[in-house]
A and B are shown apart, each in its own frame.
Chain A
Amino acid sequence: MESLSNKKKVLEVKPLNFWEKAYLPAIAKGLSITMKHFWKKPVTIQYPEQKREFSENFRGMHSLKRDEEGRERCTACGLCALSCPAEAITMTAGERQKGEENLYREEKYAAVYEINMLRCIFCGLCEEACPKEAIYLDGDIVPSDYLRKDFIYGKDKLVEPPLNQ
């Protein structure tokens, strides 16, 4: 039967000739190839000092956004926590008091908002689920730490700094 693409190649297995069987010329060739690498420029990125540039859609650490007037966007609806497959997000909602209008955009806000970075798989579903465009994974790599408790990031680490600072 004719093949559909006509790209089929019949491979021919030739018996090795003497020099191929002797193995040494091949070793010499291999040595010359590895030797070339000896003089090549290293591609190492020395991490703490040098950082690699991420692509546009890199998902890094989360940040809770503020609106144009510097108010927290999050209204503690819990959709991010619900959509999170790793169940890394927990929050407690609080009610906005009088005089706090410049702090929180809606009447309800997240009094406590915690992400467990050890659980988080950086899938970006929280970002997608958020109806208020309050959470984005636009940060850097989550830094390493010594204790497990230090990986539970609260609002102090997640919320964007205020606008006027």
Chain B
Amino acid sequence: MELTDIAIKFGLIIVIFLISLVIAMYSTYAERKIAAFFQDRIGPNRAGPWGILQPLADGGKMFLKEEIIPTNATPFLFIVGPSLAILTACIGSAVIPWGQNLVVNGKSIPLQVTDINVGILYIFGVVSLGVYGVMIGGWASNNKYSLLGAIRAASQNISYEISMGLSIIALLLVTGTLSLGEIAQQQHGFWANGWFTWNFFKQPLGFLLFLVCAFAETNRTPFDLPECETELVGGYHTEYSSMKLGFYLFAEYINMFVSSAVMATLYWGGYNYPGMDWVAANAGPNISVILGTVLLFGKVFMFIFFFMWIRWTIPRFRYDQLMDLGWKVLIPLAIANIVITGIVITFL
């Protein structure tokens, strides 16, 4: 690898890292604002114009708050918990293709940190590591309610991980590859050979299952049982204060961003959009690439908005309902989806 290549990769990593942090930061603002709109309120509007400095104020508050480590907590694990949560949330974005290759001075720059051939497995591995952050945090707090919350979180995440994996298998049957870069390429444009290229149109049920599981994996309503304050005081982060609590909350928003990006890439065509070949031919390939990236972010924002929209619509599940849904509905549906996809691929 040349030095410039390394520099480009490094720059890309920094940019994506910063983008996911900023988006997570402003997701908290958007959450509050959107929640307000759904409830006929105004929402934060004091810090800066329209309250856009609110995330900074929140962050400042988080840093300045007193940091409490309970006497009987395990100090090392107590600190490792939130660190692990935010670390696993951040590294998930490494394999997502943000765009096609930009060509600058005859040099092609891929807008993807790394296109490993097991991209989806990597994402799944990283996401399942996130459970450790929650579990360690709940355990190290030395508090019954935290532990209960953590166990609930872990069992929920594991249950939904299964149906998520199964829903992905049907998609893999269609695409025939595990590399996210290749999956995005296969969905080129919008219409080809008499059918939509985006995987959503080939796997609508798979997408639905994946979407539901993504809600459960990111601990968003209606699956936010690990932190439901009405039953568990605060769930696994009851004992956390200051920026360590901030990390947990922040990790949730980064997870939301990454899972939105994964959904957009896997099912909604990623950076592809209708008429991209026409744009590339008429306005230049780089313009088309940048437009694709912008549209990918548009899709991601749409999903983030959907996450928040759902939050103000559906009430939280009871825990037995959650498990029923995961094991008795989603997993059989995912298996049926695999079988149907297999039959269609084999005989048609």
Contact = CB atoms under 8 A, between A and B. Distances in A.
Interface of A: 24, 27, 30-31, 33-35, 37-38, 40-44, 46
A67 B281 CA distance: 88
Contacts of B42: 42, 44, 46
Nearest to B325: A23
Contact of B313 (A24, A31, A43, A46): A31
A30 B312 CA distance: 9
Given A38-B37, A44-B41, 4 more contacts: A27-B313, A37-B37, A40-B40, A42-B42
B211 to A, nearest CB: 11
Nearest to B39: A37
Nearest to A24: B208
Interface string B30-51: 0000101111111001000000
24 contacts: A24-B208, A27-B310, A27-B313, A27-B314, A30-B314, A31-B309, A31-B310, A34-B38, A34-B312, A35-B309, A37-B37, A37-B38, A37-B39, A37-B40, A38-B34, A38-B37, A40-B40, A42-B36, A42-B37, A42-B40, A42-B42, A43-B40, A46-B42, A46-B45
Contacts of A33: 313
Nearest to A37: B38
Contacts of A37: 37-40
A29 to B, nearest CB: 9
A41 to B, nearest CB: 7
A34 B309 CA distance: 8
A42 B41 contact: yes
B38 A30 contact: no
Nearest to B36: A42
Contacts of B314: 27, 30
Contacts of A46: 42, 45
Contacts of A34: 38, 309, 312-313
A37 B309 CA distance: 11
Interface in B310-346: 310, 312-314
Closest 8 CB pairs of A and B: A44-B42, A30-B313, A34-B313, A42-B42, A38-B37, A40-B40, A44-B41, A43-B40
B223 to A, nearest CB: 13
A34 B313 CA distance: 6
Contacts of B38: 34, 37-38
Contacts of B310: 27, 31
A46 B36 CA distance: 14
A41 B39 CA distance: 10
Contacts of B37: 37-38, 42
A31 to B, nearest CB: 5
Contacts of A43: 40-41
Contacts of A24: 208
Nearest to A29: B313
Interface string B3-47: 000000000000000000000000000000010111111100100
Nearest to A27: B314
B42 to A, nearest CB: 4
A37 B39 CA distance: 7
A139 B310 CA distance: 44
A27 B306 CA distance: 12
Contacts of A27: 310, 313-314
Contacts of A42: 36-37, 40-42
Interface in B168-226: 208
Nearest to B306: A31
Contacts of A31: 309-310, 313
A44 B36 CA distance: 10
Contacts of B313: 27, 30-31, 33-34
Nearest to A22: B329
A44 B37 CA distance: 11
Q: Most chain-B Cβ atoms within 10 A of its Cβ — which of A24, A42, A43?
A: A42
A44 B38 CA distance: 13
Contacts of A40: 40
Contacts of B208: 24
A43 B314 CA distance: 23
A84 to B, nearest CB: 37
A34 B310 CA distance: 9
A92 B36 CA distance: 50
Nearest to A31: B313
Contacts of A30: 313-314
A159 B39 CA distance: 42
